[in-house]
Amino acid sequence: MTQAAETATQAPGTTPPTHPLIESNRVEGTPVYSPQGKHVGTIHHLIIEKVSGRVVYAVMSFGGFLGIGSHEHTIPWEKLKYDTQLGGFRTDITPEELTGAPVVSGDEKDWRDRRREQDLHDHWKVPPYWGW
């Protein structure tokens, strides 16, 4: 887990924890902001690669109000950078990119199809985790 992720629930302006670990339930619900600091979504849950234990995707909700009208998208973890000043993650994802983004339902069989994952990585222009 990155140091950015360990401070996902830290209050803005406070000193980050010194340990490198965080529980996934503390990342869930963390706000996500645009590069300009506008709230664009929230992390719903994480997808973890079983063998390495690394977080590879965040399933995020974008748009809507109080959960109504929001849409979930699976985003490669590398598209998120933690901002201690905001107390959340920043992303450069645009609404236009979300419109054409591949959909992964979250059903276990979707994660068995490497082509679907490759489409996801190609869309977001992020190298696939299996090439680490």
| 71 found inside a domain | yes
Q: What sign for the dihedral angle of Cα 71, 77, 82, 87?
A: positive
User: What distance in Å separates the CA atoms of residue 125 and residue 119, rounded to the nearest whole number?
Assistant: 10
Query: Is it the case that residue 105 has pLDDT exceeding 70?
Result: no
Domain count, the chain: 1
Helix (H, G, I), strand (E, B) or coil at 39: strand
CATH number for position 74: 2.30.30.240
Cβ pair 40, 34 in contact under 8 A: yes
Domain region containing 45: 3-94
* β pairing state of 71-76 and 81-83: unpaired
| 60 found inside a domain | yes
Query: Is it the case that residue 7 has pLDDT exceeding 90?
Result: no
| 68 found inside a domain | yes
Share of the chain above pLDDT 90, in %: 23
Using one digit for the tens of pLDDT, what is the confidence trace for 29-57? 999 999 999 888 899 999 998 888 899 99
| 75 found inside a domain | yes
Q: How many Cα neighbours within 13 Å face the side chain of 46? A: 22
Tell me which DSSP letter residue 116 carries.
H
Task: Write down the mean pLDDT value for the chain.
Answer: 78
| 74 found inside a domain | yes
Helix or strand holding residue 100 (H, E) = none
* β pairing state of 55-62 and 88-90: unpaired
| 103 found inside a domain | no
The one-letter amino acid at 83: D
| 113 found inside a domain | no
- The confidence band for 92, taking pLDDT boundaries of 50, 70 and 90, is very high
Alpha helices in 12-101 (DSSP H): 24-27, 95-99
**Bridge partner list, 23:** none
| 73 found inside a domain | yes
